[in-house]
Every structure is written in structure tokens, then in C-alpha cells.
């Protein structure tokens, strides 16, 4: 009888790695091995790998650039598919379609080269289109949902396109966080722009971003910001020294809560709350996923007990 790996390779007609360390595929540089590991270089590979994983009843996880994730020290007891599908198609009327494996920064550069504008806000976000759509990534007043027309998905064995409103986007939120739909590509509506202006804009954004980004490996922002609403206004009013601009924006940065408790630099094992940006946890060199988990739990406990707010993670846990 053929082993799982032999069956898989026979179905895929491509090699699958065994016990591949995942730390090198994440921006955190943390994570144990994947029992099986496959690189999908195009959407056909991705669809076939997922189809056969389901057929073999094998747990699977799609990995993009490995940002915004924390992988268990034990790794993933199934198939990890690294999505490297990278097609970008420019269409009429300033529309562009990008595979889920395309890096957002690459799409931004290529759209600017084509004289299109609308995605500059995302420069510096180290994620793929698939990951950014799934989490409705945003920065500097922009977000994925704003320019998105539709998402090509695979549900079960069927492939179809979901319109923007069907994806139920919210703050760092979408339907894709709550179902097993596989994102294959996304279509965006952009506008004609001025290349010089776009380049100047991304230069300014990168300058601002780089000034506050930590030097050590991280997964990006750990916690979601707190949105101010009528439901939590009573608690918000109890906060001391809250800047008026947060009330105006109706959003309190998670970093503000952490800084308020003087937790910058707090360290557990080799995981540290960045002294440079309080909403980043960094890997000082040999951090384990367990170090990071303990630090996240500690921050949540302190903010809840001392300030009365429950922080929620923005990062995704894999293999726990």
C-alpha cells in the first residue's frame, strides 16, 4: 500500500517535502516542521494540492509570506502549501487581477508602473494578496476592501467569484476568516494616476513606517486596535490621558494601552514587546512560539485588569 506522501506525489505529479522547518517561511522566524510541505507555483498547483489533501483527509494550511502568523513549536501535523502563484493581469477600465500568492508590494509597484493609483497605502505591508484580502489589511487610511471588486474562490470543488459585498469585510475582518473558502485571486478597481505623485507618496509612507518598525523579526501588529462605539464609551471615558484625536477617529491604537502600562521592552524568554513599537512582539533571536504566547497572554491580562479593555489578536495561530 502506498504511503500518504507517495499517494500525494502520484496525484500531484510533483515532489512533496517531509518534516520541513517552517520558521524560515515566516517573518517571525518561529515555528516547528510541517509534516508535509508543498510549493504551489501557480493556481493549478494550489487547487490540485487542496483537492487531493481533502481526498486523503489530510489537514492543510495555505501559507503566503508568513507574516501575521504564529506557528506552533510543534509545527503543523498535515500539509502546508506555500502559495507562490504570481500572475498579474491588467484589464480594461483600470482593473487588475492578481493571484493570491502575489506580494502586495509587488502589485503596488506594477500598478504604479502602469500609471494606476489606489493601492499606495499598502506599501510596506509584508503580505500576499490572499492574506491581505482575508484579513482586510489596511494602513494610512486605506484598506483592501476599498478597491476590491471581487474575489475568485474555491469552495468544496467549485470555483466562482464573490463580489465585494459578499465577502463581509470589516476592520481586519472578512468571511474568509470563518470559512474554508480558498482564495485564488482578487480583482481591483484602480484609477489613472500620476507615477511621480505615486512614487512620492510611497516614499513618504515608507519613511514613516520604517521610523517605527523594529529591527528584530516580528509578525507585524499583534493586537487589533479598539474601535470606540456607544457600547464602550463609558469605559473609554474612564481612560486617563487619552488623546483627543483618538476620540475623533473613534479608534484607540492597541499600542496606546500597552504603552500606558509601561510594558515596552517587557520580555519573556526571547520574546519582547518592542521598545520601538508597543504593538509589535519581536524575536530577539531564539524565541519560541510558547514565549510569544505567554507574552501575549500577559499583555491581555494586564490591559484587561488595569484598563478594563479586552485586546484581541490580529495575528493567526497555526498548529496549536
HEC readout, 232-259: CHHHHHCCCCCCHHHHHHCEECHHHHHH
277: left (phi over 0), alpha (psi -120 to 50) or beta: beta
Residue 270: strand, helix, or coil: coil
In this structure, are residues 228 and 236 in contact, taking their beta carbons and an 8 Å threshold? yes
pLDDT at position 267: 98
91 CB-side CA count, 13 A: 12
pLDDT at position 141: 87
The catalytic position among 172, 174, 187, 274 is 172
pLDDT at position 300: 98
Q: Is 221 a catalytic residue?
A: yes
pLDDT at position 317: 97
* Residues 207, 227: Cα–Cα separation, whole Å: 27
In this structure, are residues 297 and 291 in contact, taking their beta carbons and an 8 Å threshold? no
Grid cell in block for residue 1: 500500500
CATH of domain 88-196: 3.30.465.10
pLDDT in tens, 71-107: 999 999 999 999 999 999 999 999 999 999 999 999 9
In this structure, are residues 147 and 136 in contact, taking their beta carbons and an 8 Å threshold? no
Looking at domain 215-318, its CATH architecture is: Alpha-Beta Complex (3.90)
pLDDT at position 7: 78
The CATH class that applies to domain 4-83 reads: alpha beta
What is the secondary structure of 49-97 as a DSSP string? HHHHHHHTT--EEEESS--SEEE-TT-EEEEEEEE----EEE-STTEEE
Residue ranges covered by each domain of the chain: 4-83, 88-196, 215-318
Residue 134: strand, helix, or coil: helix
Which residue ranges in the chain fall short of pLDDT 50?
Answer: none
In this structure, are residues 102 and 83 in contact, taking their beta carbons and an 8 Å threshold? no
The catalytic position among 174, 198, 218, 221 is 221
Phi/psi of residue 242, each to 5°?
-75, 125
Amino acid at each position: 500500500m502506498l504511503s500518504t506522501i507517495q499517494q500525494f506525489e502520484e496525484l500531484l505529479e510533483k515532489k512533496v517535502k517531509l518534516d520541513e522547518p517552517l520558521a524560515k517561511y515566516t517573518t517571525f522566524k518561529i515555528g516547528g516542521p510541517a509534516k508535509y510541505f508543498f510549493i504551489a507555483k501557480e493556481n493549478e498547483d494550489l487547487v490540485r494540492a487542496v483537492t487531493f489533501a481533502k481526498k486523503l483527509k489530510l489537514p492543510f494550511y495555505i501559507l503566503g509570506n508568513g507574516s501575521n502568523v504564529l506557528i506552533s513549536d510543534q509545527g503543523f501535523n498535515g500539509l502546508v502549501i506555500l502559495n507562490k502563484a504570481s500572475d498579474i493581469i491588467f484589464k480594461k477600465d483600470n482593473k487588475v487581477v492578481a493571484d493570491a500568492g502575489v506580494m502586495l508590494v509587488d502589485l503596488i509597484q506594477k500598478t504604479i508602473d502602469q500609471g494606476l493609483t489606489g493601492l499606495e497605502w499598502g506599501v510596506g505591508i509584508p503580505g500576499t494578496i490572499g492574506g491581505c484580502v482575508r484579513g482586510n489589511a489596511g494602513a494610512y487610511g486605506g484598506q483592501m476592501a476599498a478597491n476590491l471588486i471581487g474575489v475568485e474562490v474555491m469552495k468544496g470543488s467549485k470555483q466562482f467569484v464573490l463580489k465585494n459585498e459578499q465577502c463581509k469585510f470589516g476592520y481586519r475582518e472578512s468571511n474568509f476568516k470563518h470559512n474554508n473558502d480558498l482564495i485564488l485571486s482578487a480583482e481591483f478597481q484602480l484609477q489613472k494616476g500620476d507615477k511621480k505623485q505615486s512614487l512620492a507618496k510611497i516614499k513618504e509612507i515608507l519613511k514613516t513606517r520604517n521610523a517605527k518598525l523594529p529591527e528584530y523579526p516580528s509578525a507585524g501588529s499583534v493586537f487589533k486596535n479598539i474601535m470606540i462605539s456607544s457600547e464602550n464609551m463609558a469605559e473609554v471615558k474612564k481612560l486617563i490621558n487619552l488623546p483627543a484625536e483618538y476620540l475623533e477617529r473613534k479608534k484607540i491604537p492597541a499600542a496606546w494601552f500597552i504603552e500606558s502600562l509601561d510594558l515596552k521592552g517587557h520580555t519573556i524568554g526571547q520574546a519582547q514587546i518592542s521598545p520601538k513599537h508597543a504593538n509589535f512582539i519581536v524575536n530577539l533571536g531564539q524565541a519560541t512560539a510558547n514565549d510569544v504566547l505567554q507574552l501575549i497572554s500577559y499583555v491581555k491580562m494586564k490591559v484587561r485588569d488595569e484598563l478594563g479593555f479586552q485586546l484581541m489578536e490580529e495575528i493567526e495561530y497555526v498548529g496549536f
